[in-house]
Amino acid sequence: MQRILRATIHTLNGLRAVIASEAAFRQELVVLGVSVPLAFFVATDNWKRLALVCLVLLVMIVELLNTAIEKLADRVTLEHDPMIGRVKDMGSAAVGLSLLVAGLFWLLALWERISAFL
């Protein structure tokens, strides 16, 4: 039970740290807050609503991992290092691709909803 409590505390500390230091994560929190009620309007099935919200959460998870990579890389050295730059670029690409996937699913769901009225 203590391990679960410590893991929960570490999770909350990590979330506090990323919220304090990353504007992108704060923006994604706003998107999450908007996406939950919007998913009820856009999707008609519960599993689709859940999928739309989970895709936003997936973007946030990838953002957390990218931020961790960037913070660790900056801890290793603040000097310009091409290899570290590539690693940071790869993390950024992961965020970009997760945003693309989430955006495509949301667009498809919106199209499905709009086309039902046409």
Q: Is 10 within the bounds of a domain?
A: no
Range of the domain at 99: 23-117
Phi first, then psi, for residue 103 (nearest 5°) are -60, -40
- Average confidence (pLDDT) over 1-6: 95
Q: Is 113 within the bounds of a domain?
A: yes
pTM, two decimal places: 0.91
Band (pLDDT 50/70/90 cuts) for residue 78 is confident
Q: Is 78 within the bounds of a domain?
A: yes
CATH code of the domain in which 37 resides: 1.10.287.3610
Largest CA distance in the chain: 57
Q: Is 100 within the bounds of a domain?
A: yes
**Catalytic site residue 22?**
no
CA–CA gap between residue 25 and residue 19 (Å, rounded): 6
Q: Is 60 within the bounds of a domain?
A: yes
Band (pLDDT 50/70/90 cuts) for residue 102 is very high
Burial of 94 (0-12, 13-18, 19+ CB in 10 A): middle
Q: Is 47 within the bounds of a domain?
A: yes
Q: Given 22, 63, 70, 112, which residue is catalytic?
A: 63
* Secondary structure (3-state) at 18: helix
Let me know: does 43 contact 49? Beta carbons within 8 Å: yes
Band (pLDDT 50/70/90 cuts) for residue 110 is very high
Return the amino acid letter for 84: I
Q: Is 4 within the bounds of a domain?
A: no
Query: Six-digit token pair at 88?
Result: 């940071």
CA–CA gap between residue 71 and residue 65 (Å, rounded): 10
Confidence (pLDDT) at 117 = 85
Q: Is 62 within the bounds of a domain?
A: yes
Number of domains forming the structure of the chain: 1
What are 8-61's pLDDT values in tens digits?
A: 999 999 999 999 999 999 999 999 999 999 999 999 999 999 999 999 999 999
